[in-house]
Structure 1
Amino acid sequence: MREHCHCGQTMNLGFRLVIFEGSYEIDRVPIYECEDCCNYEVFPEIRDDLTDLLRELKQNKENVRVTFTEINELADLIFGIYRQWNRADAPSFRVMLEQQCEERINLLLDVYGCAKGMGDIEWMNDISKRLSQLSKYVRKRQLSKAN
């Protein structure tokens, strides 16, 4: 997946370790990186989730290292596709991401129904959060296609 940098070059998708205030480490954060000017940008649809996580870690005042793909559903899908994607014989990265988002949303809705049937509020809240992370991306893509 590629985006354009402010310098005019193409930015490639990658994953980085983000270190915040020297105490908080978040691994596997999806970013766009420009090899030409060394500019880095966090994947736009996860930026708010990353900011929220940093705020939460700072409030807990723990020196901690977390893996973002374990916390963020969209980052997990992106990482899974990134690891197995073969540009030569596969559909575009965005097409694969959209397909997998739809599949994951359907799966999470099924799991939500199970959690609701069990009356597990904590599990329902976790699934709702994961659904929200995916729906931000899907909603943005649908709006951009409509325009």
Structure 2
Amino acid sequence: MRRLCRCGQEMNFGFRLVMFENKFQIDRVPIFECDSCDFYEVLPFVKPDLLDLLNQLKQQDVKGRVYFTEVNELADVLYELFRKWTKADSVLFEAMLEQHCEERINLLLDLYGCAQKMNDENWMKEIASRLATLSKFVKERQFMGAK
């Protein structure tokens, strides 16, 4: 995943601990980071979900550390892939990401079928939400690739 920084240099993809109001720590947030000017930004695909999580934590007045990978399906897929992938790999990160997203979507669809057979509506809603996050990402990437 590539992105140019406002200084013109290529940004690196990684993960960061985000601290908010000295109360909330959200770990494993996917970011783009520039080594040249130290600028970083949250991956645009997950930023709305991060802001929603911050609002929830603020309303609940919960303190401590939350792993973003546990509440955002895309962040979880990215983190798993990032831990395994090295720049020396001949397979591009983007190709591996596409494959991992497809595999996770298939797994979630299987789980949804199980939840449906068990008539577990709460589980079905949770899985549908997780599927929506990944499906939106895949759809937007395919649209961007078609241009």
TM-score under structure 2 normalisation?
Answer: 0.96
Residue in 2 that maps onto 1:23: 23
Mapped partners of 2:102, 2:88: distance in 1: 24
Q: What is the Cα-based RMSD across aligned positions, in Å? A: 1.0
Mapped partners of 1:54, 1:64: distance in 2: 12
Q: CA deviation at 1:145?
A: 1.6
1:113 aligns with 2:113: yes
Gap regions ≥5 residues in structure 2: none
Q: CA offsets, 1:79-105, max 9 Å, x none?
A: 111111122233111111111101110
1:89 aligns with 2:95: no
Query: Secondary structure of 1:94's match?
Result: helix
Alignment of 1:43-82 (within 5 A): 43-82=43-82
Q: CA deviation at 1:126?
A: 1.0
Alignment of 1:4-43 (within 5 A): 4-43=4-43
TM-score under structure 1 normalisation?
Answer: 0.96
Query: Secondary structure of 2:41's match?
Result: strand
Code of the aligned partner of 2:75? A
Q: CA offsets, 1:31-88, max 9 Å, x none?
A: 0000101111101111111011111111111113100111111111111111111222
Q: CA deviation at 1:115?
A: 0.3
Q: Which runs of 4+ in 1 moved over 4 A?
A: none
Residue in 2 that maps onto 1:125: 125
Query: Secondary structure of 2:141's match?
Result: helix
Query: Secondary structure of 1:137's match?
Result: helix
Mapped partners of 1:29, 1:89: distance in 2: 23
Give the percent of matched residue pairs that are identical in Structure 1 and Structure 2.
56
Residue correspondences, number: 147
Gap regions ≥5 residues in structure 1: none
Mapped partners of 1:89, 1:33: distance in 2: 21
Mapped partners of 2:28, 2:123: distance in 1: 24
Q: CA deviation at 1:11?
A: 0.3
Mapped partners of 2:112, 2:125: distance in 1: 9
